[in-house]
Amino acid sequence: MRILHTADWHIGRTLAGFDLLPVQQRSFAALRQVAHDEHVDGVIIAGDLYDRGLAAESAVNTVNSMLRTLNREDGLPLLVISGNHDSAPRLATGSEWFSSTKFYLHTRLAEAFEPVTLGDTQFFLLPYFEPAMARAYFEDDNLTNIAAAMAPVIDRMVAQFAPDKRHVLVAHFFAAGSTHSGSETPVNVGGLDAVPLDLLAPFDYVALGHLHNRHAVNADRIQYAGSLVKFDVSETEQRKGVYILDTETMTRKFIEIPQTPDFIHIRGSFAEIMDPDFYHQVATDSFVQITLTDTEVIPDLMIQLRQVYPYCTGVDRAHGVQTSVTDKPVDRHLDPMALLAQFYADTNGTELTSEQRQWAQQALADVQ
């Protein structure tokens, strides 16, 4: 069989206040086309379909539409688990009858020990869980972290192995030795959430979600799908997409899904990046994070930048910001408006505009 492996859709997420839903819908359309072109026999979604437990109505409608499209319209079996961003009870609503259309959704730890068999493979769908859930299920107070809890979890799964089948684990956790990116929500204290890789050795393939960099761990049979779109400046150089797993050979290949619009990172002085010769070489309709090499204060910086880069997500300074303001005597007899004008000119190196003066005068009048 050929199985498409994806994860971490985070439907409902925003980027610096910009709505990512249109971007996510385009990436999903591309994913659907990959599934068609590759003639896949099923789809793994390894958690975090939503960005938050209390998802907005638009996000819920979008996820429902995507799942319905893959499962009902395209006839694909779905192997889905809840992640740490999903509300497991909400996601599970209606799951009692989902399996009638080969939509297998597991949101509770107990369900992980009921393998789903498709063709030559048993799939063990392990949703994100907290150590307390494992302590309650196994009645063992010693299971104080995920690393400890995973040992009995894996043992119970192995006891369900059919000797004539391949065995695939679908899970959502932090594998030991993995690296984080900036857009993931930490769920660990002192590294205690890391699952040792040797515990995963019984499986022919481990399809993971949770970390957004598909290269977060380097192991022959363990693979993070990575997020479907870029959520953080640390991901701007990453290629996003999906994996296609061949269960006969247990080999996998990556298929890129370019993001539209892209999320890019540019660096330079304010004068450089505002020069037409520079920005005409840049896809200015992309989401753009900017690192400025200037150290001086630049008035109305974001307003100016968004005239060229309308989807600027933020600005950071490579060398910090330095002001040239020095201590100087203040004429206590100046009226408040004159003091403000002097302070603004000393700080920014420019005079207040007439419009700024009007705003300041109105504000002063309101408090007097």
pLDDT at 329 over 80: no
Q: Is the same domain home to 109 and 213?
A: yes
Average pLDDT over every residue of 157-161: 98
C-alpha span between 341 and 348 (Å, rounded):
11
- Domain assignment of residue 65, yes or no: yes
Q: Kindly give, in sequence order, each residue whose CB lies less than 8 Å from that of residue 52, ignoring residues fewer than 6 positions away.
A: 12, 85
Angle at 157 between CA 155 and CA 160, to 5 degrees: 115
- Domain assignment of residue 327, yes or no: no
C-alpha span between 277 and 178 (Å, rounded):
41
Q: Is the same domain home to 171 and 77?
A: yes
Q: Is the same domain home to 26 and 171?
A: yes
Question: What DSSP assignment string belongs to 269-328?
Answer: -HHHHTSHHHHTTS-TTSEEEEEE---S--TTHHHHHHHH-TTEEEEEESS---------
Average pLDDT over every residue of 46-60: 95
pLDDT, residue 316, reads: 94
C-alpha span between 200 and 223 (Å, rounded):
12
Expressed as residue numbers, the domain containing 110 is 2-256
Q: Element (H or E) spanning 150, and its range?
A: helix 146-158
Q: Is the same domain home to 292 and 363?
A: no
- Domain assignment of residue 41, yes or no: yes
- For residue 242, name the pLDDT band (cuts at 50, 70, 90): very high
Q: Is the same domain home to 97 and 58?
A: yes
Residue ending a domain, choose from 207, 240, 256: 256
pLDDT, residue 180, reads: 55
pLDDT, residue 149, reads: 96
- Domain assignment of residue 326, yes or no: no
pLDDT digits (tens, 9 = 90+) for 181-204: 666 565 553 334 789 999 999 999
pLDDT at 179 over 60: no
Share of the chain above pLDDT 70, in %: 92
Q: Is the same domain home to 192 and 282?
A: no
Q: Is the same domain home to 291 and 200?
A: no
3-state SS, residue 118: strand
pLDDT digits (tens, 9 = 90+) for 129-152: 999 999 999 999 999 999 999 999
- Domain assignment of residue 322, yes or no: no
pLDDT digits (tens, 9 = 90+) for 106-132: 999 999 999 999 999 999 999 999 999
Instruction: Give, in order, the Cα–Cα distances in Å from 115 to each of 22, 63, 75, 170, 303.
Output: 35, 24, 21, 11, 55
CB 179 within 8 A of CB 210: no
Lowest-confidence range among 44-53, 250-259, 340-349?
340-349
pLDDT digits (tens, 9 = 90+) for 295-326: 999 988 999 999 999 999 999 999 998 866 55
pLDDT at 24 over 90: yes
3-state SS, residue 89: helix
Predicted TM-score (pTM) of this structure: 0.85
Average pLDDT over every residue of 268-272: 97
- Domain assignment of residue 59, yes or no: yes
- Domain assignment of residue 157, yes or no: yes
